[in-house]
Amino acid sequence: MIPLDQHPSGRHFLQIPGPSPVPDRVLRAMSLPTIDHRGPEFAVLGKKVIAGLQQVFQTQHPVAIYPASGTGAWEAALANTLSPGDAVLMFETGQFAALWQKMALRLGLKPEFLSLPGVCAETGLPNGWRRGVDAGLIEQRLRADGGHAIRAVCVVHNETSTGVTSDIASVRRAIDAARHPALLMVDTISGLASADYRHDAWGVDVTISGSQKGLMLPPGISFNALSPKALAASQTAKLPRSFWAWDEIVEMNRGGYWPYTPNTNLLYGLSEALDIILEQGLPAVFARHRRWAEGVRAAVRAWGLPIQCADPAVYSPVLTGVVTPPGVDADALRQLIHRRFDLSLGTGLGKVKGRMFRIGHLGDSNDLTLLATLAGVEMGLKLHGVPVAGSGVQAAMEYFAAHPQNASLKAAA
């Protein structure tokens, strides 16, 4: 049991980039009694959540739901479409891309990991961990693969370890320009329902997502959005799979059911979350996250600290990575902030561990929640002895005051 004096009163500030704060409406929906997953009421729920997810993924095609974390849905994407020894082209954008590549190795695939060379002079961080996917490198590699040995291109849309997005449409164009038949698989576990994402329009074959980030649910369910080409590939793919197999799931989903016991109460939550998101409309949801991100970046700039994403064209609307000055242990800073102000920030992962922290701006949040978060960070920076150029809180207040939510909604419409 965590000592209660660490959370004396008020709400904990869960400002990590997933799990994200869950709206009360969703929590209440999840507290309804569990029902018979083979009964008539369930089919209504099952069909409703699948139809709602299709709107959020912006697809006409099937979406499989798994009672698993996002990692399970990663495995499902690979296991349903590929055969042992298949070559896959992956791109190192950060820790999540690296973990997916490690999984491909463990499944007996042959991943080739493209990455940008070099280290950034300003921060000492790997260049590839500050930028998005370079579609030109993918095109070049595919053009050199005349025999079409590469079966899939796998990229992360919103790299949660860095706060950098990637231009998925440009990856599609690169594959088409090389006239290469590889499948395109995209992880948008942390991007979906916060950052614009278009499964069909961008020609993605398998999109992987999860519940606990933009969808504002607790962890525990995850998704594969499919294309007809991915479904066709699954007919001949030889990697072993049973629990993850799309065929039975897609078949039973037509009636609103699953081949095994689905996560009923999380599906109640999903139904409610989809209502919230679709009532607001996707353009409004995306605009809200872009605006929050801009306010948070205004704060980071005012502190005089580097934003981890070095390319303004691909700033993440979901989270912001903040690089600490050389010699400042970002994890010690995070721990101080947690202890003193009951605020959780995301830790640096993999190659950037200790060099940065992450501020999540997703889930059930608003301007004042984010201002309080920034105040916690600013106090922590000062207490930890990190020199700051100016007040980030002041900069974010000015940004939010000068840019009303309604104006950004209108701009999105």
Interface positions with ligand PLP (CB under 6 A): 18, 69-71, 96, 156, 160, 187, 189-190, 210, 219
Tell me the residue type at 320.
T
Q: Left, alpha or beta for 405 (phi > 0: left; psi -120 to 50: alpha)?
A: alpha
Q: How far apart are CA 257 and CA 35, in angstroms?
A: 13
Question: Of 371, 369, 360, 362, nearest to 396 (Cα)?
Answer: 371
Q: How far apart are CA 206 and CA 259, in angstroms?
A: 21
Closest CB to ligand PLP among residues 344, 408: 344
Place of tokens 């399970």: 72
Closest CB to ligand PLP among residues 101, 365: 101
- Residue 320: CB minimum distance to ligand PLP, A: 14
- Residue 36: CB minimum distance to ligand PLP, A: 28
Question: Of 80, 53, 65, nearest to 229 (Cα)?
Answer: 80
Closest CB to ligand PLP among residues 46, 94: 94
- Residue 255: CB minimum distance to ligand PLP, A: 28
- Residue 191: CB minimum distance to ligand PLP, A: 8
Closest CB to ligand PLP among residues 107, 298: 107
Closest CB to ligand PLP among residues 70, 317: 70
Residues 6+ apart with CB under 8 A from 113: 90, 91, 92, 97, 98, 101
Closest CB to ligand PLP among residues 319, 330: 319
Closest CB to ligand PLP among residues 20, 408: 20
- Residue 237: CB minimum distance to ligand PLP, A: 22
Closest CB to ligand PLP among residues 89, 302: 89
Closest CB to ligand PLP among residues 81, 190: 190
- Residue 72: CB minimum distance to ligand PLP, A: 7
- Residue 248: CB minimum distance to ligand PLP, A: 23
- Residue 386: CB minimum distance to ligand PLP, A: 27
Q: Which residue is nearest to ligand PLP (CB)?
A: 70
- Residue 187: CB minimum distance to ligand PLP, A: 5
Residue 359, strand partner residues: 320
Place of tokens 């020894």: 85
Closest CB to ligand PLP among residues 219, 325: 219
- Residue 308: CB minimum distance to ligand PLP, A: 15
